Chains A and B, each alone.
Chain A
Amino acid sequence: EPEVTQTPSHQVTQMGQEVILRCVPISNHLYFYWYRQILGQKVEFLVSFYNNEISEKSEIFDDQFSVERPDGSNFTLKIRSTKLEDSAMYFCASSAGGHSNQPQHFGDGTRLSIL
């Protein structure tokens, strides 16, 4: 069964450094998402991406964050200058469509630890 894959599984970075989290969505999917989950808290939406542009973003997704689909397969989340509070699990997801009947399929996440 096709799946969303994320790399790396764990990233440790010094505060203030840039970090790029990578995702390979399911191949025929058109909508891509990033969520995050701080330890012990809810899964929170960050951004959705369709047709090479951001379609929706949350308040968390400020100017320090950016997303890109650099080629036909990868989808990346960049945090320009990391802060301690960016430490979390980051989940990528994809869906075939944007309608409410379309499930989103999630990867197993990247654990980001900011020192």
Chain B
Amino acid sequence: DAKTTQPNSMESNEEEPVHLPCNHSTISGTDYIHWYRQLPSQGPEYVIHGLTSNVNNRMASLAIAEDRKSSTLILHRATLRDAAVYYCIPHSNTGNQFYFGTGTSLTVIP
């Protein structure tokens, strides 16, 4: 699976947008880009995924670069409940497992 690079940590003010970047320059053409988050003392929670086009759901938006070597998770209005570790995971068809990196720890400041 593709190697990913994410900032170790980010901060955001409450009710402001947050852009969480991820580089996945070795991604292959059929890998979907998944984003998960893990709140303290909880299991990973699915946020969003996409292949080429930008995607929106009730939790977030996913912007995928045209060359697919990077993507950005967008939280439109950060809340205190969004404080978590966010993982970007390119997922291939060659295996079932998700490879979790160290992710980005998001702190939301009231």
- Chain A positions within 8 Å of B, measured between CB atoms, are 4, 31, 33, 35, 42-45, 48, 50, 55-56, 58, 91, 93, 98-101, 103-109
Q: Which of B41-88 contact A (CB under 8 A)?
A: 41-46, 49, 51, 87
Which residues of B sit under 8 angstroms from A48, Cβ to Cβ?
96-97
Interface presence of B31 (CB below 8 A): yes
B32 close to A104 (CB less than 8 A): no
B49 close to A31 (CB less than 8 A): no
Known: A43-B44, A56-B97. 19 other contacts (CB 8 A): A4-B43, A42-B101, A42-B102, A43-B38, A43-B100, A45-B99, A48-B96, A48-B97, A56-B95, A58-B97, A100-B30, A100-B91, A100-B93, A101-B49, A101-B51, A103-B49, A104-B46, A104-B98, A106-B43
Q: Which residue of A lies closest to B98 (CB)?
A: A104
Q: Which residue of B lies closest to A89 (CB)?
A: B43
- Chain B positions within 8 Å of A, measured between CB atoms, are 30-32, 34, 38, 41-46, 49, 51, 87, 91-93, 95-102
Which residues of B sit under 8 angstroms from A55, Cβ to Cβ?
96
Which residues of B sit under 8 angstroms from A33, Cβ to Cβ?
96-97
Kindly provide the distance from the CB of A64 to the nearest chain B CB, expressed in whole angstroms.
19
Q: Which residue of B lies closest to A44 (CB)?
A: B100
B43 close to A107 (CB less than 8 A): yes
**Which of these, B32, B41, B97, contacts A45 with CB under 8 Å?**
B97
CA distance A67 to B87 in the complex (A): 27
Which residues of A sit under 8 angstroms from B99, Cβ to Cβ?
45
Q: Which residue of A lies closest to B94 (CB)?
A: A100
Which residues of B sit under 8 angstroms from A106, Cβ to Cβ?
43-46
Interface centre among B42, B98, B99 (most CB of A within 10 A): B98
**Which of these, B31, B87, B100, contacts A100 with CB under 8 Å?**
B31
Q: Which residue of A lies closest to B39 (CB)?
A: A108
B93 close to A42 (CB less than 8 A): no
Interface centre among A91, A103, A107 (most CB of B within 10 A): A103
Interface centre among B31, B41, B97 (most CB of A within 10 A): B97
